[in-house]
Structure 1
Amino acid sequence: MTKARQPLRAGNAGVTLVEMLVVLALFAVVSGAVVLALPARPMGLSAEVSAVSLASDIDHAMGVALASGQGFAIAVSDNQVRFLQKEAGSTWHTHSDPQLARVKLFSNGVRIFDQDNTEGAVFSVSPALRPDQGQALRLAFGAEGANSVLTYDGTAVKIDHGEGQ
Protein backbone atom coordinates (compact mmCIF):
# COMPACT_ATOMS: atom_id res chain seq x y z
CA MET A 1 0.00 0.00 0.00
CA THR A 2 1.14 3.41 -0.73
CA LYS A 3 0.79 6.23 1.63
CA ALA A 4 -1.20 9.21 0.59
CA ARG A 5 0.70 12.48 0.55
CA GLN A 6 -0.13 14.86 3.24
CA PRO A 7 -0.77 18.40 2.09
CA LEU A 8 1.78 20.98 3.25
CA ARG A 9 0.61 23.38 5.86
CA ALA A 10 0.81 27.06 4.99
CA GLY A 11 3.39 27.69 7.73
CA ASN A 12 5.87 25.14 6.33
CA ALA A 13 5.83 26.13 2.67
CA GLY A 14 8.35 28.65 1.29
CA VAL A 15 10.62 31.12 3.02
CA THR A 16 9.61 33.77 5.49
CA LEU A 17 10.34 37.45 5.07
CA VAL A 18 12.65 37.41 8.09
CA GLU A 19 14.72 34.60 6.56
CA MET A 20 15.02 36.55 3.28
CA LEU A 21 16.16 39.68 5.14
CA VAL A 22 18.80 37.70 7.06
CA VAL A 23 20.18 36.27 3.81
CA LEU A 24 20.27 39.74 2.20
CA ALA A 25 22.03 41.21 5.25
CA LEU A 26 24.67 38.45 5.12
CA PHE A 27 25.13 39.05 1.40
CA ALA A 28 25.65 42.79 2.03
CA VAL A 29 28.24 42.13 4.75
CA VAL A 30 30.19 39.69 2.57
CA SER A 31 30.05 42.06 -0.42
CA GLY A 32 31.33 44.94 1.71
CA ALA A 33 34.22 42.84 2.99
CA VAL A 34 35.18 41.87 -0.57
CA VAL A 35 35.11 45.50 -1.76
CA LEU A 36 37.25 46.63 1.17
CA ALA A 37 39.77 43.86 0.45
CA LEU A 38 40.29 45.01 -3.17
CA PRO A 39 43.42 47.10 -3.81
CA ALA A 40 42.99 50.83 -4.28
CA ARG A 41 42.63 52.09 -7.83
CA PRO A 42 46.02 53.18 -9.20
CA MET A 43 46.49 56.88 -9.94
CA GLY A 44 47.36 56.08 -13.55
CA LEU A 45 43.87 54.80 -14.22
CA SER A 46 42.34 58.01 -12.94
CA ALA A 47 44.72 60.04 -15.12
CA GLU A 48 43.76 57.95 -18.14
CA VAL A 49 40.03 58.47 -17.52
CA SER A 50 40.59 62.23 -17.14
CA ALA A 51 42.51 62.39 -20.41
CA VAL A 52 39.84 60.44 -22.30
CA SER A 53 37.08 62.64 -20.83
CA LEU A 54 38.82 65.85 -21.91
CA ALA A 55 39.58 64.38 -25.34
CA SER A 56 35.84 63.83 -25.78
CA ASP A 57 35.14 67.44 -24.79
CA ILE A 58 37.77 68.72 -27.25
CA ASP A 59 36.20 66.63 -30.00
CA HIS A 60 32.82 68.17 -29.15
CA ALA A 61 34.36 71.67 -29.18
CA MET A 62 35.79 71.01 -32.66
CA GLY A 63 32.32 70.07 -33.93
CA VAL A 64 30.79 73.21 -32.40
CA ALA A 65 33.58 75.36 -33.90
CA LEU A 66 33.01 73.94 -37.37
CA ALA A 67 29.22 74.32 -37.12
CA SER A 68 29.25 77.85 -35.68
CA GLY A 69 32.31 79.29 -37.43
CA GLN A 70 33.76 80.41 -34.08
CA GLY A 71 37.05 79.30 -32.63
CA PHE A 72 37.53 78.25 -29.02
CA ALA A 73 40.17 78.34 -26.33
CA ILE A 74 41.17 75.98 -23.54
CA ALA A 75 42.28 77.58 -20.27
CA VAL A 76 43.89 75.59 -17.47
CA SER A 77 44.42 76.75 -13.90
CA ASP A 78 45.11 74.61 -10.85
CA ASN A 79 43.12 71.37 -11.40
CA GLN A 80 40.46 72.74 -13.73
CA VAL A 81 39.96 73.20 -17.45
CA ARG A 82 37.60 75.75 -18.99
CA PHE A 83 36.46 76.13 -22.60
CA LEU A 84 36.18 79.71 -23.83
CA GLN A 85 34.93 81.40 -26.98
CA LYS A 86 35.26 84.86 -28.47
CA GLU A 87 32.68 86.85 -30.38
CA ALA A 88 34.04 89.06 -33.17
CA GLY A 89 35.99 91.93 -31.62
CA SER A 90 35.44 90.87 -28.00
CA THR A 91 37.44 89.15 -25.27
CA TRP A 92 37.39 85.49 -24.31
CA HIS A 93 34.39 84.42 -22.22
CA THR A 94 32.77 81.17 -21.03
CA HIS A 95 31.67 78.99 -23.93
CA SER A 96 27.99 79.23 -24.87
CA ASP A 97 27.58 75.47 -25.45
CA PRO A 98 26.14 73.91 -22.25
CA GLN A 99 28.47 70.89 -22.34
CA LEU A 100 31.53 73.11 -22.78
CA ALA A 101 30.42 75.84 -20.36
CA ARG A 102 30.89 73.61 -17.31
CA VAL A 103 34.26 73.81 -15.58
CA LYS A 104 36.03 70.45 -15.76
CA LEU A 105 37.68 69.52 -12.44
CA PHE A 106 40.49 66.95 -12.30
CA SER A 107 41.39 65.78 -8.80
CA ASN A 108 44.51 63.96 -10.00
CA GLY A 109 46.06 67.14 -11.42
CA VAL A 110 46.33 68.61 -14.90
CA ARG A 111 49.10 70.76 -16.33
CA ILE A 112 49.31 72.66 -19.60
CA PHE A 113 52.57 73.74 -21.18
CA ASP A 114 53.07 76.36 -23.89
CA GLN A 115 56.12 76.61 -26.15
CA ASP A 116 58.28 77.92 -23.29
CA ASN A 117 57.12 75.04 -21.07
CA THR A 118 55.46 77.48 -18.65
CA GLU A 119 52.41 76.49 -16.69
CA GLY A 120 49.04 78.24 -17.05
CA ALA A 121 48.95 78.95 -20.79
CA VAL A 122 45.72 79.46 -22.73
CA PHE A 123 45.50 77.49 -25.96
CA SER A 124 43.27 78.99 -28.67
CA VAL A 125 42.04 77.51 -31.94
CA SER A 126 40.72 79.38 -34.99
CA PRO A 127 37.32 78.58 -36.55
CA ALA A 128 39.25 76.55 -39.15
CA LEU A 129 40.69 74.46 -36.26
CA ARG A 130 44.22 75.82 -36.62
CA PRO A 131 46.08 76.44 -33.34
CA ASP A 132 46.73 80.18 -33.00
CA GLN A 133 50.06 79.42 -31.34
CA GLY A 134 51.25 77.40 -34.32
CA GLN A 135 51.97 74.30 -32.23
CA ALA A 136 50.08 71.48 -30.55
CA LEU A 137 48.56 71.66 -27.09
CA ARG A 138 50.05 69.25 -24.53
CA LEU A 139 48.21 68.48 -21.29
CA ALA A 140 49.65 66.15 -18.65
CA PHE A 141 47.30 64.39 -16.21
CA GLY A 142 48.28 62.69 -12.97
CA ALA A 143 51.18 62.62 -10.55
CA GLU A 144 54.76 62.23 -11.67
CA GLY A 145 55.42 58.75 -12.99
CA ALA A 146 51.71 58.01 -13.62
CA ASN A 147 50.95 60.50 -16.37
CA SER A 148 48.65 60.41 -19.31
CA VAL A 149 49.57 63.07 -21.86
CA LEU A 150 46.92 64.50 -24.19
CA THR A 151 48.17 66.16 -27.40
CA TYR A 152 45.83 68.21 -29.60
CA ASP A 153 47.08 69.69 -32.88
CA GLY A 154 43.83 71.26 -34.13
CA THR A 155 42.60 68.25 -36.09
CA ALA A 156 43.22 65.22 -33.87
CA VAL A 157 43.49 64.37 -30.18
CA LYS A 158 46.10 61.79 -29.16
CA ILE A 159 46.56 60.28 -25.68
CA ASP A 160 49.83 58.70 -24.56
CA HIS A 161 49.67 56.72 -21.31
CA GLY A 162 52.43 56.38 -18.74
CA GLU A 163 54.59 59.21 -20.09
CA GLY A 164 56.46 61.83 -18.17
CA GLN A 165 56.73 65.41 -19.33
Structure 2
Amino acid sequence: MSVRHLATIVVGFLVAGAGGGLLWERLSDPTAGLTYQDQWYVEPAGPDVAFQSVAMFVLVAFPIGLVLAVLAGLWRDGETATVVTVLVAATAAGLVMYAVGSSLGPPDPQALAAGSPDYTPLPGHLGLTAPDRGRTPWMSTALVAFPAGAMTGLVGMYLFGAEGLARRSRG
Protein backbone atom coordinates (compact mmCIF):
# COMPACT_ATOMS: atom_id res chain seq x y z
CA MET A 1 0.00 0.00 0.00
CA SER A 2 1.56 3.26 -1.07
CA VAL A 3 1.29 6.58 0.69
CA ARG A 4 0.12 8.06 -2.61
CA HIS A 5 -2.84 5.68 -2.66
CA LEU A 6 -3.77 6.54 0.92
CA ALA A 7 -3.44 10.27 0.21
CA THR A 8 -5.73 9.84 -2.81
CA ILE A 9 -8.34 8.26 -0.54
CA VAL A 10 -8.10 11.12 1.96
CA VAL A 11 -8.30 13.83 -0.71
CA GLY A 12 -11.22 12.06 -2.40
CA PHE A 13 -13.16 11.89 0.85
CA LEU A 14 -12.47 15.53 1.72
CA VAL A 15 -13.53 16.77 -1.71
CA ALA A 16 -16.65 14.61 -1.54
CA GLY A 17 -17.36 15.99 1.94
CA ALA A 18 -17.24 19.53 0.58
CA GLY A 19 -19.52 18.53 -2.30
CA GLY A 20 -21.84 16.79 0.13
CA GLY A 21 -22.04 19.95 2.21
CA LEU A 22 -23.01 21.93 -0.86
CA LEU A 23 -25.64 19.33 -1.76
CA TRP A 24 -26.94 19.23 1.82
CA GLU A 25 -27.38 23.00 1.84
CA ARG A 26 -29.13 22.98 -1.56
CA LEU A 27 -31.55 20.17 -0.68
CA SER A 28 -32.43 21.36 2.83
CA ASP A 29 -35.26 23.75 3.41
CA PRO A 30 -34.43 26.10 6.28
CA THR A 31 -36.67 25.75 9.29
CA ALA A 32 -39.12 28.64 9.43
CA GLY A 33 -39.48 30.65 12.60
CA LEU A 34 -40.58 33.90 14.18
CA THR A 35 -39.04 36.26 16.67
CA TYR A 36 -40.74 37.07 19.93
CA GLN A 37 -39.23 39.08 22.76
CA ASP A 38 -35.69 38.87 21.32
CA GLN A 39 -35.95 35.06 20.93
CA TRP A 40 -36.41 32.95 17.81
CA TYR A 41 -39.04 30.18 17.83
CA VAL A 42 -39.74 27.46 15.27
CA GLU A 43 -43.07 28.02 13.56
CA PRO A 44 -44.87 25.65 13.38
CA ALA A 45 -43.37 24.14 16.51
CA GLY A 46 -42.48 20.48 16.67
CA PRO A 47 -39.52 18.12 16.53
CA ASP A 48 -40.43 16.83 13.08
CA VAL A 49 -39.95 20.31 11.62
CA ALA A 50 -36.53 20.76 13.22
CA PHE A 51 -35.41 17.25 12.20
CA GLN A 52 -35.49 17.89 8.44
CA SER A 53 -31.92 19.16 8.09
CA VAL A 54 -30.59 16.28 10.21
CA ALA A 55 -32.39 13.72 8.06
CA MET A 56 -31.14 15.37 4.87
CA PHE A 57 -27.57 15.33 6.21
CA VAL A 58 -27.79 11.57 6.82
CA LEU A 59 -29.47 10.94 3.45
CA VAL A 60 -26.62 12.73 1.68
CA ALA A 61 -23.65 11.60 3.81
CA PHE A 62 -24.32 7.86 4.10
CA PRO A 63 -24.46 7.05 0.37
CA ILE A 64 -21.46 9.23 -0.44
CA GLY A 65 -19.41 7.43 2.20
CA LEU A 66 -20.66 4.08 0.94
CA VAL A 67 -19.71 4.71 -2.70
CA LEU A 68 -16.29 6.17 -1.88
CA ALA A 69 -15.44 3.25 0.39
CA VAL A 70 -16.43 0.74 -2.29
CA LEU A 71 -14.07 2.54 -4.67
CA ALA A 72 -11.31 2.54 -2.03
CA GLY A 73 -11.89 -1.18 -1.46
CA LEU A 74 -11.15 -2.00 -5.10
CA TRP A 75 -7.45 -2.04 -4.27
CA ARG A 76 -6.81 -5.30 -2.49
CA ASP A 77 -3.44 -4.59 -0.95
CA GLY A 78 -3.01 -3.14 2.51
CA GLU A 79 -6.52 -3.72 3.79
CA THR A 80 -5.70 -2.65 7.34
CA ALA A 81 -4.17 0.64 6.20
CA THR A 82 -7.13 1.19 3.88
CA VAL A 83 -9.66 0.59 6.67
CA VAL A 84 -7.93 3.02 9.04
CA THR A 85 -7.48 5.63 6.30
CA VAL A 86 -11.10 5.35 5.15
CA LEU A 87 -12.39 5.65 8.72
CA VAL A 88 -10.30 8.74 9.47
CA ALA A 89 -10.99 10.32 6.07
CA ALA A 90 -14.74 9.65 6.33
CA THR A 91 -14.88 11.22 9.78
CA ALA A 92 -13.04 14.30 8.50
CA ALA A 93 -15.29 14.39 5.42
CA GLY A 94 -18.38 14.44 7.65
CA LEU A 95 -16.97 17.40 9.54
CA VAL A 96 -16.11 19.16 6.27
CA MET A 97 -19.60 18.44 4.98
CA TYR A 98 -21.12 20.02 8.08
CA ALA A 99 -18.78 23.03 7.95
CA VAL A 100 -19.47 23.73 4.26
CA GLY A 101 -23.23 23.19 4.47
CA SER A 102 -23.77 25.22 7.61
CA SER A 103 -21.57 28.09 6.40
CA LEU A 104 -23.57 28.33 3.15
CA GLY A 105 -26.91 28.17 4.96
CA PRO A 106 -28.72 30.96 6.78
CA PRO A 107 -27.05 32.54 9.83
CA ASP A 108 -28.00 31.71 13.41
CA PRO A 109 -31.53 33.05 13.96
CA GLN A 110 -31.08 33.40 17.73
CA ALA A 111 -28.41 36.03 17.13
CA LEU A 112 -30.58 37.83 14.57
CA ALA A 113 -33.65 37.72 16.82
CA ALA A 114 -32.04 39.97 19.42
CA GLY A 115 -33.27 43.44 18.61
CA SER A 116 -35.70 42.34 15.91
CA PRO A 117 -39.34 43.35 16.15
CA ASP A 118 -41.72 40.69 17.42
CA TYR A 119 -43.14 38.27 14.81
CA THR A 120 -40.34 38.88 12.32
CA PRO A 121 -39.98 35.76 10.14
CA LEU A 122 -36.43 34.39 10.07
CA PRO A 123 -35.10 31.17 8.51
CA GLY A 124 -33.39 28.69 10.81
CA HIS A 125 -29.71 27.86 10.81
CA LEU A 126 -28.66 24.65 9.06
CA GLY A 127 -27.59 22.47 11.96
CA LEU A 128 -27.67 18.90 13.17
CA THR A 129 -29.62 19.47 16.38
CA ALA A 130 -32.92 21.08 17.24
CA PRO A 131 -32.68 24.85 16.93
CA ASP A 132 -33.24 25.36 20.63
CA ARG A 133 -31.43 28.07 22.52
CA GLY A 134 -28.22 26.84 24.12
CA ARG A 135 -27.83 23.80 21.86
CA THR A 136 -24.57 23.32 19.98
CA PRO A 137 -25.61 22.87 16.32
CA TRP A 138 -22.91 20.32 15.45
CA MET A 139 -23.11 18.02 18.50
CA SER A 140 -25.13 15.25 16.91
CA THR A 141 -24.84 11.57 16.17
CA ALA A 142 -25.68 12.46 12.56
CA LEU A 143 -21.95 13.12 12.08
CA VAL A 144 -21.52 9.34 12.25
CA ALA A 145 -23.45 8.92 8.97
CA PHE A 146 -20.44 9.51 6.72
CA PRO A 147 -18.12 7.03 8.50
CA ALA A 148 -20.98 4.53 8.94
CA GLY A 149 -21.65 4.59 5.21
CA ALA A 150 -17.95 4.25 4.50
CA MET A 151 -17.49 1.29 6.83
CA THR A 152 -20.59 -0.39 5.38
CA GLY A 153 -19.23 0.02 1.87
CA LEU A 154 -15.76 -1.16 2.77
CA VAL A 155 -16.94 -4.21 4.70
CA GLY A 156 -19.33 -5.06 1.89
CA MET A 157 -16.57 -4.71 -0.66
CA TYR A 158 -14.19 -6.88 1.30
CA LEU A 159 -16.81 -9.56 1.95
CA PHE A 160 -18.75 -9.58 -1.28
CA GLY A 161 -16.44 -7.91 -3.79
CA ALA A 162 -14.79 -9.66 -6.71
CA GLU A 163 -12.43 -11.65 -4.50
CA GLY A 164 -14.43 -11.77 -1.27
CA LEU A 165 -15.88 -15.06 -0.03
CA ALA A 166 -14.36 -16.94 -2.94
CA ARG A 167 -15.21 -20.63 -2.95
CA ARG A 168 -12.31 -22.96 -2.99
CA SER A 169 -12.51 -26.05 -5.11
CA ARG A 170 -13.04 -29.21 -3.12
CA GLY A 171 -11.53 -31.63 -5.44
What is the TM-score of this pair, normalised by structure 2?
A: 0.28
More strand by share: 1
By relative contact order (CA 8 Å, sep 6+), the higher-ranking structure is 2
Is the radius of gyration larger for structure 1 or structure 2?
1
More helix by share: 2
What is the TM-score of this pair, normalised by structure 1?
A: 0.29
